[in-house]
Structure 1
Amino acid sequence: MTAQTQDSGKVALVTGASRGIGYGIAEALVARGDRVAITGRNEEALKEAVEQLGADRVIGIAGKAHDEAHQAAAVEATMAAFGRVDYLVNNAGTNPVFGPIAELDLGVARKVFETNVISALGFAQQTWKAWQKENGGAIVNIASVAAISASPFIGAYGMSKAAMVNLTLQLAHELAPGVRVNSIAPAVIKTKFAQALYEGREEEAAAAYPLGRLGMPEDIGGAAEFLLSDRSGWITGQTLVVDGGIFLKAGVH
């Protein structure tokens, strides 16, 4: 946080934020003056992210997103450190398989849904009970364009993200009027998580986008920051597609 940035008085919990999209969102929230709790599986990577973001404004809670004990511990630690949790960003996700769903191991499919969908519901339940039920707030779920189109070779991931879009609708309906719930559906963002989709062919991959480049974590950070602000105070239950214009291409959607 720069000397010019005032404390917003708001607190966010961002899951899966030691790098990539989650880190980009945490960075945007810290920059506007929020205090932020971030989670991640790797304790060392998490510590490094906290130092980079600013240990005076950020805490890290290591654990696996699908672990209910971790979900509870993350919210408890946020409340203990900051006294509130206004915003939740469900970003933690996994995509451990690349191939046709006709040959997909069902155990892997369950793992994908457990991490990408059930964990998001768990974090939402914990945040609701701890703060948002009585005080309001906002939730942003990170989905994917894979949720709204066929997704060759990452079908299980796409299915889980489609479920997350519907989870957004269910929560938005149930938690209104105090809590707004929206989701963001990014196209390919330049992160380690998405490397397989562009590594060794980035120029070719970027050429498919009308805006001429792949997305960056800060692109999603800006969108999330907007949805977690009073400027979006009359928006709930929506999925914001952030795709560099890729769906403008004939036949993509």
Structure 2
Amino acid sequence: MQKEILAGKTALVTGASRGIGKAIALKLAEEGANVVVNYLNSQTQANFIVNEINKMEKGRAIDVKGDVTDILSIRRMARIIDDEFGGIDILVNNAGQLLRPQYWKDVTERVWEQSLKINLQGPLLCIQTFVPMMERRGGGKIVNIASMYGITGSAFVPAYTAAKAGLINLTLGLAKNLAPQINVNAIAPGNIATEMTNSAGDDFLEQIVSETPLKRLGTPEEVADAVLFLSSPMSSFITGHVLVVDGGLLLQ
């Protein structure tokens, strides 16, 4: 029987109680990883995912509440993870938030600060906290979930896209800083069929699909496949890369 490619590894997925984070947690578990399912408010959903993973009887899963914008909360998570697994090998910075769409002139100071705090500061705080664990275990993989719109920009969510652009740049810098022990890469999803995307309305979705060469939305599982690749030995000679998962939309 073929051994799972992440057997013996432990992964922390932030914001893993639903959507893309949920798909990532399940995908890594399918390949044998122990998985820490981080959540902030959705404990019931996180518990469900943990139960699904533990039913696989491959790796082991736990759920840990934690606010990625609060360093004390992150340190508490780190203590729990250290006690349970002795550290982590894979960090997936997925937790993020798209605040309500606004034109640039309507962006308030609060929206700007919150967007940067959740989408950019959070990943940095997690990296600062968990990299020493990874180094102690001999290395690891960091995958930051950015956005295609961090590359292209957007007229409707400038605070969000600025934060995701910052996350991409942070990825590039840290890939240099943390080599050769730790690979640091990013995923830039396009329009993925999640609750957030589906709530945008039929007209918006029809327009996006028509502009996408593959003529559909992506799925959370397709993003998870990309994360699996960048988390596994298959990507051992890749660092500082931004993998776009957008159905070809950037070609337009």
Q: Is the structural similarity TM-score above 0.5?
A: yes
How far 1:53 moved relative to its partner?
Answer: 2.8
User: CA RMSD of the aligned region, Å?
Assistant: 1.9
Contact 1:137 1:180 in 2 (8 A): yes
1:44 aligns with 2:47: no
Contact 1:146 1:161 in 2 (8 A): yes
Contact 2:153 2:162 in 1 (8 A): no
1:198 and 1:239, CA in 2 relative to 1: closer, same or farther beyond 3 A? farther
Deviation per residue, 1:203-244 (Å, 9 max, x gap): 443232111210111111000000011111111011111110
**Match of 2:152, SS?**
coil
What CA distance in whole angstroms lies between the structure 2 residues aligned with 1:125 and 1:149?
Answer: 28
Question: Aligned AA for 2:45?
Answer: A
What CA distance in whole angstroms lies between the structure 2 residues aligned with 1:195 and 1:40?
Answer: 22
Counterpart in the other structure of 2:107? 104
Contact 2:198 2:205 in 1 (8 A): no
**Match of 1:219, SS?**
helix
1:148 aligns with 2:151: yes
Counterpart in the other structure of 2:135? 132
How far 1:131 moved relative to its partner?
Answer: 3.0
Contact 1:16 1:91 in 2 (8 A): yes
1:173 aligns with 2:176: yes
Q: Tell me, which stretches of 5 or more residues in structure 1 are unaligned?
A: none
What CA distance in whole angstroms lies between the structure 2 residues aligned with 1:4 and 1:135?
Answer: 25
How far 1:134 moved relative to its partner?
Answer: 5.2
Give the paired residue count: 247
TM-score (norm 1): 0.91
Contact 2:87 2:137 in 1 (8 A): no
**Match of 1:89, SS?**
strand
Counterpart in the other structure of 2:54? 54
What CA distance in whole angstroms lies between the structure 2 residues aligned with 1:148 and 1:196?
Answer: 23
Question: Aligned AA for 1:115?
Answer: I
What CA distance in whole angstroms lies between the structure 2 residues aligned with 1:173 and 1:196?
Answer: 38
What CA distance in whole angstroms lies between the structure 2 residues aligned with 1:199 and 1:122?
Answer: 37
Q: Which moved more, 1:58-67 or 1:141-150?
A: 58-67
**Match of 1:190, SS?**
coil
Kindly report which structure 2 residues correspond to 1:2-151, keeping only aligned pairs within 5 A, or say none: 6=4, 8-42=7-41, 43-54=43-54, 57-132=60-135, 135-151=138-154
Deviation per residue, 1:22-67 (Å, 9 max, x gap): 1111111001000100111122222222223337621111122211
Contact 2:103 2:156 in 1 (8 A): yes
